Every structure is written in structure tokens, then in C-alpha cells.
Chain A
Amino acid sequence: MPDSAPAAPKRGAWNSKLGFILAASGSAIGLGNIVFFASNAYQYGGGAFYLPYFIALFVLGIPVMITEFSLGTMTGRSIPMALSRLVGKKGEIVGRWSLSSALFITMYYIAILGWAFCMMVGAIFGLMEPGAPAPFEPFAEPSADPNATAYFFGLLASWWPMLAVLVIWALTLTALWKGTETIERVVRVAVPLMWVFMIILIVRGVTLPGGTDGVLYLFTPDLAGIAQPDVWKGAFSQMFFSLSLGLGTMTAYASYLPKDSDQVNNSFMVSLLNCGFEYIAGIAIFSMLFAFALNPVGGTLSLSFFAIPQGISAFPFAVKLFGFSFFLLMVMAGVTSAISLVEGMASAVIDKTGTSRAAALTMVAVPGIIGAVITTLPFVVDPSLGGNGTVGLNFLDILDHWAFGYSLLAVGLIECVLLGWVFGADKLRAFVNEHSKLKLGAWFDVLIKYLIPAVLGTVLVWNLAIDLFGADGLYGSGYPLGSVSWFPIVIPLVWILGTLGLATFLTSRRSATVPSETVSPAV
């Protein structure tokens, strides 16, 4: 519990329910939603992937989102103080660890947005034209045709992304300047625009030769893989990452809602909008890639920066306009997610220290900008491209593997254990049911206490076993990293020790604010 001190500072408040839904869905819909679902669906059996995907949505995604939203409305606090009020100091450490990891993730997430911003500008000035070179052997000579890969690596080896990172940070901080008031204004424009742009891409995609076959290919089930554990692991991980759970963002946003908000309905709404966006994004991506016989296997970066622009460059007309629109869509989807990441951290600083919003944003932005600049460092360490090319891209790749791949799932797991077993899943359910039209049954307790921790624990142990004992060795250790060959060992160590150390240190500090009321859900 907080120690002592003056009354709580005035926190933000959403002006409308729709404003909250747009902000929360804008947070959930990020870069991964545009291409990652399509890639997973392709790899894991097309339409057959929808079976584990929907099971993951209803068994894991929506229940954890109900939990995270309820944490916010129950306490009116960001995740560390919310958990602190419900389960004590150990909860606060978990919350602060989640936000410390979110800080690391924000660093490189905004760097990716910086690259997307550069590609967006580049779509008008050269990306869609022949002649792109990069200081790597395969791309050393200017390309004879439009070559998105050469253009991207050329960009990576320049200083422009650093400038773009500052632009993205400026956009993010401007949107956060007056808290919910400015966030709501931004999402009311950006989120509907994202849907409009995606629908335009669908229209373009399905009108290409073979485009409709691509759409049907996405949904036609290939049942051969459904029994394979990898498919189920892929679906559960995809759902957790896709909904931005375990990052503290949903709790921060929900803390600006009234206590009587219907969190079951809100969770359904946000989750279904998020998955609906993935659904239409899958249609757009599959129709385009199929039309140009491009394989949709790959990560978010490779598909977004190489495959899709390559496909767009082969459009019969308006290639610059479509290229620009695609990257503008990426920037908007990414910025609305970055806003929530930074807000989650800033609100936690305000809750803990009682400082002003401007000071809290500065405390988050300074390390965030430094990390983003490191990620965009253009120094080439791997001219053979046996790894990722530049210092910055290797830093991103390895940090993402650990920070994103483990912390979200781990926080989700611990969150469920603490709320299910220490606070009491029945108490949580009683609070939710007090204000929801659709009542949760005792099955919710079973999910929070047993099933979700078991699923997340299995995925975590499975991933860790592959990383520590797999044939490839420690992640990134096979890359030719030259002068930064210590990255694969040092980055995970800095991440885990840095985030745990920061979480412990911040938890040990005195809280400047006292909650104005105790948490007493009706049981």
C-alpha cells in the first residue's frame, strides 16, 4: 500500500465511451496486426488456424482483457499502483516490471515507426523506382528494378531514421500532452482512417488478377497442421501479443473510466475490433501477395518493409500513392499504440510521484528517445547480411526477441496468479459482474486461476527451452556481428537485470499519493 502523503492529483477522464473504445482499440491495433496475423495464418494452416485463434480469443484474450480493464476501473490507477492496492507490494513490483519492459519495447517500437515514416516519404521519392543501392554486397550496385529490400537497407545505413524517430516521438508526445483530452482527439481521426486505408488496400488487392483467389486461399482450411502443438502455441502467443496484453496499457486507459463501466462489453468490443482489423488486413495482404506470387512467410518487418512494398511497386498504376498510403497506415497504427505505451508509463509515474504530466512525460521520453536513437544507429557490422546488417537492427532484433517475447507472457501469467489466487478470482468476478450486463460465471475463475496460467506457463517454458537448449544456441549467437558479437549475451542480461532492478528501485520509493478510497468490491 502507498505510504503516506497528500491527496491524489487530478487524473484524466475519458469524455465519451466511444473515445475510450477507439483509444483502446488503437492501442491494440499496431504494426503486428497489419501483417503478422496473415503470416501466422499462412504458416499454420490458413482457415484451419481460425479454430485455435478463436479458442485463444475467447479462452485467453478476452478474459485477460477483462482482468486488465477491471484493474484500472476498480482502482483508478495505472498497473503498478492498481496491483499494489489489490495484492500489496509484490503486485507493484510486477506492474513496474511490466512497464520497465514496455519502456524497452517503446525504444525500438518507435524506431520501427521511424523507418516506416522514412519509407512513407520514400514511397514518393524513390522507393517505387529502380536504382536503390545499399552499402551491402548484394545491393552495392543500383537496382535495375524497384527493390524495396535494397531501399530499406540503404535507409538503415543512413542517418535519416534518427531524424524520423524524433518526428515520431514529437507526434506521440503531442498526442499525450493533455492526457485523455488530446489522446481522444487523435484517435477519433487516426483509428477510423486506419480502417478506411485498409479497406482501400482491400479494394486494390482483390481487383488485381488472382486477388480473390488469394483471399480464398487465406480462409481455405488446411487441416493437416491442426493437431500440431506449434499451431496452438502460435495462436495463443499471437492473441496475447495482438491484444497488447501484459504491457499495462489497457489498465492505464481503463483507469480513466468510471467505476460502473461494463468491462465485459468493453473487452468484447476492443478484442473483436482488434481481431476484425486483423481479418481485413489478412484479406488485403493475401490478395496482394498472391497476385504477385510473393510468399507471405515472415516477421512484421520483413513483410512490411520488403514483401508488401515489392508487391505495391508492381501495381499497374498509382504505385506511389498506394505505397505512401500503406506506410501512412503503418505509422498511424504504430503511433496510436506508442501513445498507449508511453501513457501507461507516464500515468504510473504520476500515480507514484504525484508529479506533473509534463514532468512524467519527460521522464519516460528521455530514455525512450535514447533507446530509439541507438536502434537506428546506421553503422554496418555485417556487410554479408548473414545477420541483420546494422548495429541498430541487430539491437532491435535481439531486444525484441527477449523483451517482447517473454515479458508480456510472463506479466500476464503473474497477473493471473496474483489476481486469481492472492486477491481472489471470485472477488474480481464479483466486481466485474456488479457493472456488466453479461454476467461472468464460475468458469471465469477457472480460467484465471488454472487454465490461463497453465497455457502461458507452457508457452514460456517451451520458448525458453528452445532458446537455451535448442540447436541454434542463444538467440542471435549465430549472427556475424563483428564488433558487437557480445550483443546476444549482453542485451538479454541488460534487459532482465535492468527491468527487474528498475522495478525494484521504483517500488521501494515512497509513494507521493494516497488513494482516496479503498477497494471493496461486492462479493
Chain B
Amino acid sequence: MGGEPGRTGREAEDSAGWIPEILPTDDMSAEERRRLVASMRPEDAEPVPELHEVDVPAELEERIQAAMAKYPEVRSASLPALWAVQRHYGWCSPDGIRQAAAVMGVTPAYLESVATFYDLFRTEPVGRHHLLICHNLACWLRGSEDVLDEFCEAAGVDAHEVDHIGASSDDGEVYLKGFECLGACDIAPMASIDERYYGPLTPDDARTVIDQLRSGADPIPDKALFGRETAGGPEPEPDPRVKQGES
């Protein structure tokens, strides 16, 4: 990084690449936050980290580089890079974001602004297994509230928190979040468990899933969506026009 010419004042005494030691957090009172933000100057923003100064795990760097190579413009790799960070660390940790920023040549603040926009990126550490429980219209119409309640009960987490920002169980095994339409209303009420779709769920299934995840078992395989036949039943006799189009 190194001090750039023309930067004066606190820059000099703080040596190369001054990064504020205290950043505003949600725990601060409004007064504290205001004072801290007022004391910062534009040059206090963390610059683009130099790749050789950041210790990036080889596998992570490789994934991000591969994503960057796929697009005509590097910044398009922001989402794939954040996915890579999340898969590596379990969440988009500040260190992970800084590493991705170094590989991509953007500021950590830029990637953080992107990460905080999207629901699926976790900007705080969460439980090991990720459960998204749909409770949008179609699932709600088929009893998702009871399923969600049972999930919370079984995992021992606060239902209100799950509904709003998501919550992790005390043993760190499961993270639950009430989610808006996951696009599987055909199997409502449903949930996404570690990125796989399951449904239709009953409150009993909820308890079973939590137990199975805690014991390291594959959750409710018979309720998995993938590989299931389409709802209309077996292939009907094709329409004559469709048949003719195939000849």
C-alpha cells in the first residue's frame, strides 16, 4: 500500500495504509457512531488490498480467478467471488472479503456493499447447516407457519429472530431463516436444506430434519425434490401437431 504523495495530517503519523481501528457497529449507540463517522475522512477508507500482503488460501484464489476469467469485465465476478468466500469460510467474513477484494483488485468496501444487498450472503457467522424455510403465500396457504414453528422449537431458536434476520442454534449446527418464495410451490410447504429442496413438509419432518442434521445423517431423502416426476402424471398421448413437429 504505502503512503501516497499529497496525503497529510493523520496519514503521516499512522504510517502506510491507515485503517480505522474502530469501525461503526450495530452495538454502538447512535451518539458513538455519529462521533466515529464524523472523525473519519475519505482517505480513511481502506484502499484496494495488495495481493501479496493478503494471505489468500490457494483454493479460494483459484476459484475467484476462474470466475474472473469467465466474464468480459472483472467486476462481474463479484457475486461468484462472494459465493466462493462463503463456501470457504461459511460466511462472508471481513477477512474473506478482503482476500477476494485483493484478488479482484477492488476495495473491500465495494464487495461488502454488494454482500449486504443479497439475502443469501451471510455477513455474520452462522450455524453449519443452512435451512431456509419458505413461508410465502403458497407455503403459508399450506401450513408453513406450523412447520416453521416446529423447526424453531426443535433447534431451540427464537421464532421472531428466524422470521426476520435468521438465527443459529446454540450448538452451532443449524442456521434457520424464514424465507420468501423459494420457487417450489408445487411441494409447499417446503424448505431448502444446505441448498437442496425438500417438501411437502410436516411439523414432524421439521423435528426429524434437525435431529438428522445434528447426528450427521442425510436429511429426509424421501422428501427430496430432485428426481421427482412432474405433477401432471405420466406423459399423455402427444398432441398431433406436436407429434407432426417431431417427424
A binds B: no
List chain A positions with a Cβ less than 8 A from chain B. none
List chain B positions with a Cβ less than 8 A from chain A. none
